Structure 1
Amino acid sequence: MKYFLATLHTEGLKIIKSKVIWIIAAAFSIAPLMAGFFMFVLKDPALAESAGLVGAQAQVAGEANWQSYLDLHAQMIGVGGIFVFGFVTSWIFGREYVDNTVKDLLTLPYSRAVIVTSKFLASFMTNIVLSAYIVALGFFIGWIVGLPQWSSAIVMQNLYVILIVTMLTIVLSTPVAFFASYSRGYLAPVGFVIITLIFSQILTAVGHGEYFPWAVPALYSGLTGETIISWSSLIIIGITSLLGFLSTLYWWLFADQH
């Protein structure tokens, strides 16, 4: 436990002191800003009509109220989180190879399993903080816009959905860690994330998204109008995340590291 906590502390320092995470947070901030802009446009029909195409695009967000606004946040995390959380995971694992610091990790006097587990936990915690930041920023923007129909019941119900969507999206980042370790860099895992996003859109469009793990969070967020998740989808996500974790652990334990 002492080694694990020391390793986790080191990973936390790497993340906090790196500019990459702050750049990712700044880029992810665009999502609630756009959601707030759409709500602002929808509140004023005359402005929406004069905005032309922007007004038409804003109709996708629904009505200008807290329910539609928070629904939109869940959908942004369900879709955009696949890329953002995946990139964070690929950076945490791949940076050791890119910065040529993996040799230093491998000389430490404890099991490589400790390193892998601490990296996964650091990735999980970082992604949770990013999601919480986006939601908090969204609430701030929503209050500035002055959205109507605020109620504690609506907020609690939507926060529950956002939490589930966030958890499902984060656990699906474990295969990204394997590709980052296997390829010893960022390109392959980012390519994998992009491929999963493409297939998510295709399979959701043809009605089979519930069987593709990376499409399930977006479906649960209400992207198609429903917030229902089946046990089969949960089992598929569980198997996918477990395989990603075990394959990453196996690679670090048994693969030749140069």
Structure 2
Amino acid sequence: MSYFLTALQAEGLKICKSKVIWITAAAFTIAPLMAGFFMVVLKSPELLKSSGLLEAKAQFAGEANWPSYISLHAQIIAVGGILIFGFVTSWIFGREYADHTVKDLLALPYSRAVIVMAKFIAAFLTNTILSTYVVTLGFFIGWIIGLTQWSSTIVTHGLYILVVVTILTIALCTPVAFFASYGGGYLAPLGFVIFTLVLSQIVAIAGFGEYFPWAVPALYSGVTAGESALGWGSLLIIFITSLLGVLSTLYWWLLADQH
């Protein structure tokens, strides 16, 4: 346990001292700002009468109220989270190869499994903090805008959806760690992230989104009326996908030849 805590602390220091994570957080800030801007457009469409295209796009956000606003944030995390969370995971695992520090980790006097699990926990905590930051900023922006239909029931249900979507999206980042380890850098995992992001949109449009793990969070993020669109089959698919990502990454670090 002491080895694990030491490894986790080391990963935390790497993350806190890196500019990459702060730049990523700054980039993710665009999402709640755009969501708030769409709400302003929906509340005061006369402000942008000369820009019919932008107003039409804002209509996709629904109405200028808290249920639509929270649902929009859930969709942002479900879709944008695949890219942002995947990038964070690929950086945490791939940087060791890009910076040529993997040999130093392998020389440490404890199991490689400790290193891998510490990285997974660090990735989970970092992505959770990023998601919490985006949601908190989004709520602050919504409060400034003065959206309607605020109630404890709506907020509680919305936060429940946000938590579920966040956990599901982060869980689907484990295969990214394997591709970062197998590819020895950033290109392979980022290519995999982009591939899953594009393919999830195609599969969802085809009507088979509930069977494709990376499309499930986006489908669930649209639920606002209280009924659950997340079946046990979809949950099982996500669990198996996440587990395979963890096990394959462990296998690579434990058994594959490291140079």
Give the TM-score category using the shorter length: over 0.9
Deviations 1:148-175 (A, max 9, x none): 1111111110000000000000010000
Map of 1:4 onto structure 2: 4
Name the structure 2 match of 1:149: 149
Q: How many residues align?
A: 258
Name the residue aligned to 2:251: 250
* Conserved 8 A contact 1:48-1:56: no
Equivalent position SS for 1:50: coil
TM-score, structure 2 as length reference: 0.97
Structure 1 residue 223: deviation in Å? 7.4
Aligned to 2:205: 205
1:132 aligns to what? 132
Deviations 1:211-248 (A, max 9, x none): 00000000000179975111111110011000000000
Residue by residue over 1:131-161, the C-alpha shift from the partner in whole angstroms, topping out at 9 and shown as x without a partner, is 0000000011111111111111111100000
State the Cα distance separating 1:49 from its structure 2 match: 2.7
Q: Is the 8 A contact 1:178 1:251 kept in 2?
A: yes
Note if contact 2:78-2:169 (Cα within 8 Å) is conserved in structure 1. yes
Separation in 1 of the partners of 2:53 and 2:79? 23
Deviations 1:4-47 (A, max 9, x none): 00000000000000000000000011110000000011101312
User: Measured at CA, do residues 223 and 194 of structure 1 come closer, stay the same or move farther in structure 2, by a change above 3 Å?
Assistant: farther
Alpha carbons 2:94, 2:180 under 8 Å: kept: yes
Partner of 2:99: 99
**How well do the aligned residues superpose, as a CA RMSD in angstroms?**
1.3
Mapping 1:93-242, distance limit 5 Å:
93-222=93-222, 227-242=228-243
1:71, 1:231 → 2: CA distance? 22
Q: Is the 8 A contact 1:28 1:84 kept in 2?
A: yes
* Equivalences for residues 15-164 of structure 1 within 5 A: 15-164=15-164
- Mapped partners of 1:9, 1:82: distance in 2: 25
Cα distance, 1:97 vs structure 2:
0.3
Which residue type is aligned with residue 237 of structure 2? I
Letter in 1 for 2:246: F
Write the deviation string for residues 50-91 of structure 1: whole angstroms up to 9, x where unpaired: 332111110000100111000000000010001110110000
Task: State the distance in 1 between where 2:157 and 2:110 align.
Answer: 44
- Separation in structure 1 between the aligned mates of residue 5 and residue 22 of structure 2, nearest angstrom: 24
In the alignment, the residues of structure 1 paired with residue 250 and residue 45 of structure 2 have an alpha-carbon distance, to the nearest angstrom, of: 55
Work out the percentage of aligned pairs sharing the same amino acid: 72
Partners of 2:64 and 2:211 lie apart in 1 by 33
Runs of 5+ unmatched residues, structure 1: none
> What's the secondary structure of 2:96's corresponding residue?
helix
Give the letter aligned to residue 138 of structure 1.
G
Distance in structure 2 (CA, Å) of the matches to 1:2 and 1:147: 48
1:228 maps to amino acid: A
Distance 1:147 1:232 in 2: 36
Which whole-Å CA distance do the structure 2 matches of 1:48 and 1:206 have between them? Answer: 34
CA distance in 2, matches of 1:9, 1:162: 28
Q: 1:162 & 1:52 partners in 2: Cα distance?
A: 31
Separation in structure 2 between the aligned mates of residue 175 and residue 70 of structure 1, nearest angstrom: 28
Give the unaligned 5+ runs of structure 2: none
Q: Report the secondary structure of 2:21's partner residue.
A: helix
